[in-house]
Amino acid sequence: MFIDKIKIFVKAGNGGDGAVAFHREKYVSAGGPDGGDGGRGGNIIFRVDEGANTLLAFRYKRKFVAENGENGKGGKKHGKNGADVIISVPPGTLIKDPDSGRIIFDMAGADEYVLCKGGRGGWGNRHFATPTRQIPRFAKSGTKGEEREVLLELKMLAEVGLIGFPNVGKSSILAEISSAKPKVANYHFTTLSPNLGVVSIGEGKGFLAADIPGLIEGAADGLGLGHAFLRHVDRCRLLLHVVDIAGTDGRDPIDDIDKIDNELMRYSPELATRPQIMVANKIDSLDPESDALERFKVKCRELGREYITISAYTGENLEELVAMAAKALRDLPPLTVYESEYVPEEEAILSSAGAKETTVRRENEKYIVEGEWLYNFMGQINFSDYESLNFFQRVLAKNGVFDMLRDAGIEEGDTVNMYDFEFEFVY
């Protein structure tokens, strides 16, 4: 089974909490705070697996969660970092935001990419000791690891794509010019998934070619198999447009050219401008009295495209076809690597507003204050410790939370709720 598009959930590990501890040792007075820091949460890392060409591995496993960092310990002992989760994907996989469809990262541009970073470990209480605060009874909690849903979409890294109607001989050509062993038979849709093959051009050089199946009239609208596989042509630097010059299925090869060009244009105008070499296959079966070959040549000259006549069955002109493709590739731009189009909402807010996002709303006679930064910050506070509570109030004032409450109409004695922590507002 071939799978080239799938949605998964990933979550990096949370950071471990810092420890509240004090050094106690016989004959050692005033040992002081010695709480260790929490460990870092594990990252979610995508890594290219050169041997894979499908996303089938994700069919039954779609949730990936990295290990949390361990909490710090007394004696200044640092908690263990959480283990990273390595997710292997085929070359050419795009990591996309499922809601907007924007590209987060193209795995064709790197062997490895950290998608979600693990949470930072919290500081132990030893970091909060000062000459005036010698017994800090609070530590910093670890931050949460990043999490999200992503859409994985495979766009193969073939440099040359063989396109055309079903049963024109694309798989046969690929089998003859490369090491690929696709299934070949004389009926429609023999090929149910793209086949890749390495075409050797001597001296250790070569290029990757793919047989793109299922193009029929209406493929850009989802008919047949074409809609599912047109995306694999996107990266191809060169297209080999194959037609059945003998018309063995009763179709007109010239009409086929127009229909395939139209489907490419409707799917992607940019793709329709990609260089093409026209390949007239099954020349061995052509009726000597047919004018199809002459009409084919006239059509190619009108389109300004190179052309060649071949027979995948007898091997006629296959070496010349490989040479033409190799020559064309030398003058074409490199494989397409897509730039990231996605900016996380949190980053956009911080870059545009330059401040932390905080929301204040009134609900059931209470003022509810929320914000991602506030949630993480509250994990650092020991609300039973007077000094820690004073620190909490100073940070709220500095970040304008109290001003926002006043603007919302709060009055003295009203209740404020911050993630289940409640207090009465006092001017």
Answer with the one of 104, 119, 154 that is the final residue of a domain.
154
Average pLDDT over residues 19-28: 82
Instruction: Determine the Cα–Cα distance for residues 17 and 15; give it in Å rounded to an integer.
Output: 7
Q: Which domain holds residue 412?
A: 345-424
Residue 375 belongs to domain with CATH number: 3.30.300.350
* Residue with more model confidence, 218 or 321: 321
Q: Are 315 and 251 members of one domain? A: yes
Alpha helix positions (H), 236-366: 253-267, 269-272, 292-303, 318-330, 345-353
What is the H or E stretch that residue 407 is in? helix 401-407
Using the predicted structure, report yes or no on whether residue 331 has a pLDDT greater than 50. yes
| Alpha-carbon separation of residue 394 from 116, 373, 402 (angstroms) | 31, 15, 10
pLDDT digits (tens, 9 = 90+) for 120-130: 998 888 887 87
Q: Are 10 and 102 members of one domain? A: yes
Residue 340 lies in a domain: no
Q: Are 198 and 145 members of one domain? A: no
Q: Are 188 and 228 members of one domain? A: yes
Q: Are 102 and 202 members of one domain? A: no
| Residue 60 burial (CB count, 10 A) | 6
* Amino acid present at 185: A
Number of H helices and E strands in the chain, helices first, is: 10, 18
Place of tokens 């006629």: 316
Residue 336 lies in a domain: no
| Residue 321 burial (CB count, 10 A) | 22
Residue 337 lies in a domain: no
Average pLDDT over residues 316-323: 94
Sheet harboring 85-89: ordered strands across?
Answer: 85-89, 44-48, 112-116
Instruction: Determine the Cα–Cα distance for residues 45 and 110; give it in Å rounded to an integer.
Output: 12
Instruction: Determine the Cα–Cα distance for residues 276 and 56; give it in Å rounded to an integer.
Output: 31
pLDDT digits (tens, 9 = 90+) for 150-178: 999 888 778 898 988 888 888 899 989 98
* Residue with more model confidence, 340 or 162: 162
Strand locations in 304-393 (E)? 306-309, 359-363, 366-370
Q: Are 355 and 380 members of one domain? A: yes
Answer with the one of 154, 171, 205 that is the final residue of a domain.
154
Q: Are 296 and 271 members of one domain? A: yes
SS3 190: coil
Instruction: Determine the Cα–Cα distance for residues 78 and 71; give it in Å rounded to an integer.
Output: 8
Average pLDDT over residues 179-206: 67
Q: Are 134 and 188 members of one domain? A: no
* Amino acid present at 59: R
Q: Which residues pair with 147 in a beta bridge?
A: 11
* Amino acid present at 259: K
Using the predicted structure, report yes or no on whether residue 14 has a pLDDT greater than 60. yes
* Amino acid present at 148: R
Contact between 171 and 211 under an 8 Å Cβ cutoff? The reply is: yes
Residue 275 lies in a domain: yes
* Per-residue model confidence (pLDDT) at position 3: 65
| Burial call 72-83: b when 16+ CB within 10 Å, e when fewer | bbbebbbbbbbe
Q: Are 1 and 132 members of one domain? A: yes
What is the DSSP code string of 79-103?
PPPPPPEEEEE-TTEEEE-TTT--E
Which two three-digit tokens encode residue 269? 């105008």
pLDDT digits (tens, 9 = 90+) for 341-392: 776 654 443 443 344 688 999 988 899 999 888 887 887 777 777 777 888 8
* Per-residue model confidence (pLDDT) at position 346: 44
Instruction: Determine the Cα–Cα distance for residues 246 and 402; give it in Å rounded to an integer.
Output: 81
Question: Average per-residue pLDDT in the chain?
Answer: 84
If DSSP states are collapsed to H, E and C, what string results for 136-179?
Answer: CCCCCCCCCCCEEEEEEEECCCCCEEEECCCCCCHHHHHHHHCC
pLDDT digits (tens, 9 = 90+) for 73-106: 988 899 999 999 999 998 889 999 998 889 999 9
* Residue with more model confidence, 27 or 264: 264
User: pLDDT-derived band of residue 25, with 50, 70 and 90 as boundaries?
Assistant: confident
pTM to 2 decimals? 0.66
Residue 145 belongs to domain with CATH number: 2.70.210.12
Q: Are 256 and 369 members of one domain? A: no
Instruction: Determine the Cα–Cα distance for residues 380 and 59; give it in Å rounded to an integer.
Output: 40
Residue 204 lies in a domain: yes
**Where on the phi/psi map is residue 220: left (φ > 0), alpha (ψ -120 to 50), or beta?**
alpha
Q: Work out the angle between the directed axes of helices 170-177 and 318-330 (0-180°, nearest 10).
A: 80
Residue 299 belongs to domain with CATH number: 3.40.50.300
